[in-house]
Amino acid sequence: GFTASGVSVTPSFATGTVGIPSATRTGGANPLQSLADDDFVEVDFPGDFIFPFYGQLYDRMYVGSNGFITFGFGDDDETPTQSEFVNGPPRIAAFWRDMNSDPASGGSGEVRVQFQRQSGHFANDRVHVRFINVPSVSAGGMVLPQVNSVTATLYVSGAIELDYGVVNGASG
């Protein structure tokens, strides 16, 4: 089962599922499940986990509150366009749309990161980024009742798996 409530900038691997309790961003602590609206958090990969993506090797990722992961630097953009996708930071756009998990601004749901090591099977080591029951936001900035649940799993081999639970296309 999934038990992590965030990530740490210096987590370590263990056999089986590892729950990492908090995330740190420049300027102080910020629990990932309380990621602000239109925000991102830098997450260092633990130990020897290096993720290959389009010819580059990354030892960290940036989890955006709007359903994507970037590499190299973070992005808080909520409006997906082809130009931003092509010219912005390298990106896994699992479900790029304006979403809000921040209760302080009317959002709900959670964004979680979980590192997992499979004993004896280095190629199966992975990190899960989960957007769980995060509501969409309308063009006018209203949090909508529709929620989205998407998981992006990044394997140390470079494989990416996207799992779409409940997703809603309504954007208001």
CA separation for the pair 156, 124 (Å, rounded): 7
**Higher confidence at residue 11 or residue 62?**
62
Per-residue model confidence (pLDDT) at position 1: 28
Q: What is the Cα–Cα distance from 39 to 85, expressed in whole angstroms?
A: 17
In whole angstroms, what is the distance from residue 166 CA to residue 106 CA? 20
Region class of 128: left (phi > 0), else alpha (psi between -120 and 50), else beta: beta
pLDDT tens digit sequence for 109-154: 889 998 888 776 676 789 999 999 999 998 888 999 989 999 999 9
3-state helix, strand, coil in the chain (%, to 5): 10, 40, 50
pTM for this model (two decimals) = 0.79
Beta-bridged to residue 147, according to DSSP, are 135
